[in-house]
Amino acid sequence: MQPNTLSRRLNNVMQRAVDENKIVGSVVIVAKQGQIIYQQAKGYLNRENNIKMAENSIFLLSSVSKPIAIVAALLLIETGQLDLNAPITHYLSDFTPRLADGTPAMITLHQLLTHTAGLSYRFNEAYGQGPYNTLQVSDGFDHIAISLDENLRRLSLTPLLYKPGTSWTYSLSIDVLGAILMAVTRQDLDTLISSLITVPLAMHDTGFVVTDITRLTTHYYDAMPIPQPMQADYQMQLGDDWNHAIFDYSPKRIFNHNAYHSAGAGMVGSAPDFMRFLLAISSQVNALSSNKLINKMAKMHVSDEIQAQGPGWGFGYGGAVLNNPELAHSPQAKGTIQWGGVYGHNWFYDPAQDLAVVTLTNTAIEGMSGDYPLQIRNAVYGV
């Protein structure tokens, strides 16, 4: 992997995406064997005001926050404050969702981390119809401004999709985890994430408040002929490939003090901060733990039968895990962990190559699951 060649390939992919109006702005960072070998910003933080994207621009992270919250949980497990196999009622006595027939069900912490608890997201309900929409359960990045306690109360009234541990559904389980973290530490989520992770790793721009409003990107949605800026609230209606999901975005939610801090989708941060996080958890020597935390996260806890990111992908803690690169048509090695965020982000870590890649964009959902992240991946591997 020659740095000059890599830079040329990635620069071309990034600039072409901007020129072709696929992506408004993007920051890409690549690290190999713990060292950053590429870091670049292209496009616009705010296109309408001609403000260029910068390497330290701040983004709404959406699900990029999930691995951060999960690492916080793993650290508390290491100190004996949490038990992976304990029923979550041990920590949240009032959170007792039931099966559709009213049968009580036991959910463990492990099932929360792997999204096998039987919970779901409001956006998973086709055409916006179902109990999550009826009860107005917040997805953590939408306009529903309620407390976490109220959201868990509503969530506990929705029927579980299946007996915990028997299937997989991407869900609000990490928001439930956030409530557990607070119950165990008796700290608010912002404080405990700060003390456990962001302060030790000097992630100065990552948290539940915006540190510098001038560096916060304008977020855009896919549109023709060019992506358009999201207003206060925006509903993105998707098609067959997404089960007619409706993503309910609220870019101003981060400033609403009535909206709870969502461990699964509510943080802001920068690409350098998240790369610092990835490098820490993928190193045996790090400021967080005496363990290489990525080993626990990238273990395939749920088989690739679920196709978490298509054929060949299972699921670990905080991301999809690649089990069959050939089936996935991916140059990444078996054991790669990868995920993203609905505001337009993608990241992965390939343990065989000791290779970390962070791609944050302000364009949804192209930056998460369109051609752009695939083109970035292929450019990194030179395929």
Active-site positions?
63
Amino acid letter for position 116: T
Helix, strand, coil share (%) of the chain residues, nearest 5: 35, 20, 45
234: phi then psi, degrees, rounded to nearest 5: -145, 130
∠ CA 42-43-47, nearest 5°, is: 160
Question: 106: closest CA among 180, 166, 179?
Answer: 166
Q: How far apart are CA 209 and CA 225, in angstroms?
A: 33
Amino acid letter for position 336: T
Buried b (16+ CB within 10 A) or exposed e, 345-356: bbbbbbbebebb
**Angle subtended by helix axes 148-157 and 173-185, to nearest 10:** 130
Q: Which residue has the tokens 């007792």?
A: 96
84: phi then psi, degrees, rounded to nearest 5: -55, -35
Q: How far apart are CA 259 and CA 278, in angstroms?
A: 28
The 3-state DSSP class for residue 25 equals strand
DSSP for residue 53: P
Q: How far apart are CA 338 and CA 357, in angstroms?
A: 9
71: phi then psi, degrees, rounded to nearest 5: -65, -40
Q: 146-154: list long-range contacts, CB under 8 Å, 24+ apart.
A: 146/258, 146/259, 146/260, 147/258, 147/260, 148/175, 148/178, 148/179, 148/182, 148/260, 148/261, 149/179, 150/260, 151/175, 151/260, 152/92, 152/94, 152/95, 152/176, 152/179, 153/94
Question: 200: closest CA among 263, 279, 318?
Answer: 279
In contact, 217 and 236? CB cutoff 8 Å? no
